Amino acid sequence: MSAEWQVQSAESWKITLPCSRAQAEALIEDVPALAAFDPPPTVMTSEPDPAAPDAWLIDVYVEGVPTPELIEAIGSLAPDRGPPEIVRIEDEDWVTRSQAFLVPIRAGRFHVFTGAHAGESPAGTIPFLIEAGRAFGTGHHETTTGCLEMLDQLATAGHRFANIADIGTGTGLLAFAARALWPEAPILAADIDPIAIDVTRANMAENAIPADAIALFTCPGVDHPEIARTGPFDLLIANILAGPLIELAPSFADRIGPGGRVMLAGLLADQEDAVVAAFAARGFRLSERLQRGDWPTLVLVQRP
């Protein structure tokens, strides 16, 4: 490692690493290899050329000259794709620069954007400002987009809900969308990660959502005494991963009343049968489904 990387600096840098689509998708949740670094780097993935669907990029934005340890950790995210490219970002806010590449998302009636695109929401849409940061759920991944579209479809079909939970809330976006569609319903949002709850609280303020409009809890799944007292729910949203969805099926079923619905995402298409089977064993049947890319969004209803 050359001596220039040892110089202490407040500069900003971008580290770019080629990767496969599978390696990029593995980063939709936390990135354990980078969790110990302070301040935490911002990680983004992209598909530069749709004609080359397995040629993705990982871009990592860091404050200060990246250390050899950080460079090695980033390289471990895609160790088979060659060394990372490291460049200094000259005289500009690297967070703003990274946000500029996140184009606004339109999903049903929802328009999700970062601060770089403020004021650009089309007329008639429900806008949400969600910055990329320390929690999952900016709307740019197919799982989140699929959930937004499914919520819109349920509302368009005339479904009404009186008690809603968003489990694994991330940025809080899905809870915000549910509140916009069913404003009279009590809504709670929970996440196992306290950082996600902090991010959700900040995003509520950013989107002029009153602090008491959504109850926030830090807990695994629905394992919180206040959640037990709040139920049963007639809509429970869970955009997490297939394994946890299967494990949580019994506790979710205990919190959903007869005729209630559970919206599941974060699973791949080849994991769908196992997830549906876990909920079918608890009295649910599949009622609605949509798929974006390899990622289905499922709605299952509890049989009366």
Residues 202 and 142: their CA atoms lie apart, in Å, by: 24
Query: Is 270 known as a binding-site position?
Result: no
- DSSP-derived 3-state class of residue 178: helix
Q: Are strands 110-113 and 105-107 parallel, antiparallel or unpaired?
A: antiparallel
Beta strands in the chain (DSSP E): 12-19, 42-46, 56-63, 85-89, 105-107, 110-113, 126-129, 164-167, 187-191, 214-218, 233-239, 256-265, 284-292, 295-302
Residues 37 and 294: their CA atoms lie apart, in Å, by: 32
Residues 35 and 41: their CA atoms lie apart, in Å, by: 9
Query: Is 168 known as a binding-site position?
Result: yes
The amino acid present at 147, given as its one-letter code, is C
Residues 42 and 59: their CA atoms lie apart, in Å, by: 8
The answer to whether 92 and 74 have CB atoms below 8 angstroms apart is no
The answer to whether 227 and 219 have CB atoms below 8 angstroms apart is yes
Query: Is 239 known as a binding-site position?
Result: yes
Residues contacting 199, CB < 8 A, separation 6+: 133, 134, 135, 170, 171, 172
Query: Is 144 known as a binding-site position?
Result: yes
Which residues participate in the annotated binding site for S-adenosyl-L-methionine? Answer: 144, 168, 191, 239
Which residues participate in the annotated binding site? Answer: 144, 168, 191, 239
